[in-house]
């Protein structure tokens, strides 16, 4: 028995070393294949490229957009007249959406109120608060933490905490904002296999480019907006959008939305801060695909959406803010062919919404977007 114990410990040690090496290899490969998710150095390099007037060609649009915003805003030499912030619904809001006015789109996928606070901190810290800030509330903006699927808001946790301190509002404890999911994903085998498969077909991670459109790759522009590849746009055609919108609508109609009242109460405090800084805030809402809207209409889920919209209108009225857009595509003027799926309208649809903003006439020519 005594002679067997050293053997057991020996094999256990070998096994542990093997596991550590395997996990280290997975993490290292994921890190190298996803630098715009995990590497702040790569994000800074991408921001430098944007500041030089070049766009960013990417094989996968699922990058850390918040990290890129952090680095890009820190390097801006001019303040945009209009800055649009919202989730991926605004990702195709291109810089020329408001002729005669400079505009930057700071979208970040799966946005929450914490993101609004973090972005405001970034803009304040670097003296880049715009004259007009367009904010968009989605179904999950005020969602309770334990109901959230997305955790990307934690990427800008330091900025969120700093703005919370400025505003004097309660912020989340460290165990709720620490981005453990991000670093745990480094060890994901699924991420590794998917990225290797993608890289074997498209041997590009990211690179600066003068192009704004590409057959196979997505482009992140100097204006902050995203242009999808021609190949993806062909796949996500009108029929695809209609079919997936119906399926999504039928599923969501059976669910419910929850609202964290503490978050709702913090929004007016943030708006008052912006008002004191001389920023004109506009509330904007993007529409759903008509097929999706028809599926959810009349459901309890639809009622929850209307309550969120009502909250927004009440806050806007109290703050004397302009409200543009809406959930109903027909009321906004967006047509089914302007959607890629149930809630992502294209640049033409978004231009119709943004055109509703009442902007003051410019006294001087607009600054070029690539100098932002």
Q: What is the pLDDT along the chain (372 residues), one digit of tens a residue?
A: 455 667 777 778 888 888 889 899 999 999 999 999 999 999 999 999 999 999 999 999 999 999 999 999 999 999 999 999 999 999 999 999 999 999 999 999 999 999 999 999 999 999 999 999 999 988 788 999 988 989 999 999 999 999 999 999 999 999 999 999 999 999 999 999 999 999 888 889 999 999 999 999 999 999 999 999 999 999 999 999 999 999 999 999 999 988 899 999 999 999 999 999 999 999 999 999 999 999 999 999 999 999 888 888 899 999 999 999 999 999 999 999 999 999 999 999 999 999 999 987 665 544 545 445
Query: What is the residue whose two structure tokens read 């291109």?
Result: 94
Q: Write phi, then psi, for 5 (nearest 5 degrees).
A: -60, -45
Cα–Cα distance for residue pair 43/152, rounded to 1 Å:
16
Query: What is the residue whose two structure tokens read 């927004």?
Result: 312
Q: Bridge partners of 13?
A: none
- Assigned token pair, 277: 């800084």
Nearest to 69 by CA among 57, 82, 84, 59: 84
Cα–Cα distance for residue pair 67/108, rounded to 1 Å:
10
Cα distances from 132 to residues 160, 257, 278, 291, 321, in angstroms, run 21, 30, 9, 33, 11
Q: Is 368 helix (H, G, I), strand (E, B) or coil?
A: coil
Other CB atoms within 10 A of residue 333 CB: 15
Cα–Cα distance for residue pair 343/329, rounded to 1 Å:
10
- Distance from chain centroid for Cα 236: 20
Nearest to 228 by CA among 109, 359, 334, 92: 92
Give the predicted TM-score (pTM) of the model: 0.91
Whether the Cβ atoms of residue 14 and residue 180 lie closer than 8 Å to each other:
no
Cα–Cα distance for residue pair 268/298, rounded to 1 Å:
30
For the chain, what is the radius of gyration of the CA atoms? 22
DSSP 97: G
């Amino acid at each position: 028995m005594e002679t067997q114990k050293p053997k057991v410990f020996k094999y256990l040690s070998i096994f542990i070393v093997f596991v550590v090496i395997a996990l280290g290899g997975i993490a290292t490969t994921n890190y190298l294949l996803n630098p715009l998710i995990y590497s702040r150095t790569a994000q800074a390099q991408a921001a430098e490229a944007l500041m030089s007037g070049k766009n960013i060609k990417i094989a996968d649009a699922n990058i850390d957009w918040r990290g890129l915003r952090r680095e890009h805003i820190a390097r801006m030499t001019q303040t945009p007249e209009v800055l649009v912030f919202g989730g991926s619904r605004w990702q195709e809001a291109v810089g020329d959406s408001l002729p005669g006015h400079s505009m930057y789109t700071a979208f970040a996928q799966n946005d929450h109120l914490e993101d609004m606070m973090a972005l405001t901190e970034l803009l304040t810290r670097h003296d880049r608060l715009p004259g007009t800030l367009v904010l968009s509330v989605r179904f999950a903006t005020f969602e309770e933490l334990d109901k959230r699927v997305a955790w990307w808001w934690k990427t800008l946790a330091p900025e969120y905490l700093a703005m919370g301190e400025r505003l004097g509002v309660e912020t989340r404890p460290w165990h709720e904002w620490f981005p453990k999911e991000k670093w745990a994903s480094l060890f994901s085998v699924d991420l590794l296999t998917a990225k290797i498969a993608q890289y074997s077909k498209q041997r590009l991670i990211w690179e600066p480019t003068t192009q704004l459109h590409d057959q196979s790759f997505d482009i992140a522009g100097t204006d902050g907006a995203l242009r999808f590849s021609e190949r993806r746009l062909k796949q996500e055609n009108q029929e695809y959008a209609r079919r997936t919108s119906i399926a999504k609508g039928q599923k969501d109609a059976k669910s419910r939305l929850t609202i964290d009242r503490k978050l709702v109460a913090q929004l007016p405090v943030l708006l008052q801060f912006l008002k004191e800084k001389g920023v004109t805030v506009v509330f904007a809402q993007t529409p759903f695909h008509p097929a999706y809207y028809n599926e959810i209409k009349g459901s309890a889920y639809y009622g929850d959406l209307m309550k969120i919209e009502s909250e927004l209108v009440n806050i806007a009225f109290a703050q004397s803010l302009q409200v543009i857009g809406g959930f109903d595509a027909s009321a906004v003027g967006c047509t089914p062919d302007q959607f890629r799926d149930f809630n992502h309208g294209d640049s033409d649809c978004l231009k119709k919404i943004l055109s509703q903003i009442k902007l003051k006439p410019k006294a001087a020519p607009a600054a070029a977007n690539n100098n932002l």
